[in-house]
Amino acid sequence: MNSVAVIVDSSILIAYLQGEPVPLIDAASKDGTIVVPPIVIAELMTGVETAAERIAVGELLQDSPLHATPLAHWIAVGELRQKLRQSGLAVTIPDAHIAQCALDRDAVLLTRDAIFRRMARHVPLRLAE
Please give the pLDDT value at position 47: 85
Per CATH, the homologous superfamily of domain 6-127 is 5'-nuclease (3.40.50.1010)
Domain map (residue ranges) of the chain: 6-127
Spatial distance between the Cα atoms of 30 and 95, rounded to a whole number of angstroms: 26
Which residue ranges of the chain lie beneath pLDDT 50? 1
Instruction: Note if the pTM is more than 0.85.
Output: yes
Residue 1 confidence (pLDDT): 43
pLDDT at 55: 87
